[in-house]
Amino acid sequence: MPEAYERHLVPVFFQPFAVDLAARAAALRPRTILELAAGTGALTSALLTAVPTASVVATDLNEAMVTAGSAREPRAEWRQADAQELPFEDGGFDLVVCQFGVMFFPDRPAAYAEVRRVLAPQGRFLFNSWGPLASHGFGAAFQTALERSMPEGAPPFLKAVPHGYSDPAVVTADLTAAGLTLDTAEEVTLEGVAESAASVATGFLTGTPVSAAVEAREDAQALRAAVTQRMTDQLGSGPVKAPMTATVYTAHQ
C-alpha cells in the first residue's frame, strides 16, 4: 500500500498542499517541528526545504509508512507514534503540523490534547483536512465510478473518513474540548495534475483501504478495470486535472 500511495496519490493530491502548508509553517519561524501522520514524507520534505534551520521529527502510526518515509526523507528523525499517546516530553515543539491526518484519529480531542501538551509556550498547531467529497474532483469521480461498478454497495471509505471531517464547526469544537484555541480556518482550493485517470484509479484501488474490499471479490480484476474505465470516461484520457478543496487550520494553547 505505501508504494501505490506514493506512486499514484502523493504527487497529485498531497504535494500541492504540502507546499502550501510548508510555506505557512515557515512564516511561523519554528525551531522544532513535530509532524503527525507523516505518511511517506511529502510534507516532511517540503518542511525541510521551507524551514531548513528547523529540526523535524516525523511520526506515523503505520510502521510501513515510517519505513518508507525514512528511506525517502532521511534528513528528518522518524518515529512510529500514536497521535493519541505521543512519546515526547511536555512543551518540546514550537510547531506541530499534520497534513490530512486528523480525519483518521479515532479520538480527535484526545489527540489534540496531546498536541497541546507537547507544544511549547506560544507554539502553534497547523493542519489541514479535506472538504466534502464533492469538492475533490478526483475523489468524487472515483466514488461515482466505484458506486456504478458496485451497485450492490460500494465501500464508503472516501465519504466517511478522508472527507468525513469537513465541517469547521466540528473541528473547532474538538479543538476547544482539548484546550486549544482556533486562530484561523481558511478554505483553500488547489489543482491536482495526474498523468492519467487510470493512475489515480490505481492509487485509490491499491493504495487505500478500498483495496481490501476489492481484493476480497472473485471478480476483482474485472471490477478494477470497470472502475478505471468509468473514471477515464468522466475525466478524459491522457493527463488530467481537477480542483481539490481543503481547510487549513491554525490553533494555539
Does the pLDDT value for residue 4 go beyond 90? no
> Which domains, and CATH codes, for the chain?
2-252 (3.40.50.150)
Q: Record the cell numbers describing residue 2, joined without a space.
A: 505505501
Contact indicator for 43, 21 with CB cutoff of 8 Å? yes
Write out pLDDT tens, residues 33-70.
999 999 999 999 999 999 999 999 999 999 989 999 99
Write out pLDDT tens, residues 109-161.
999 999 999 999 999 999 999 999 999 999 999 999 999 999 988 999 999 99
In degrees, rounded to 5, the angle at the alpha carbon of residue 156 between the alpha carbons of residues 233 and 16 is 65
Cα–Cα distance, 168 to 155 (Å, whole number):
25
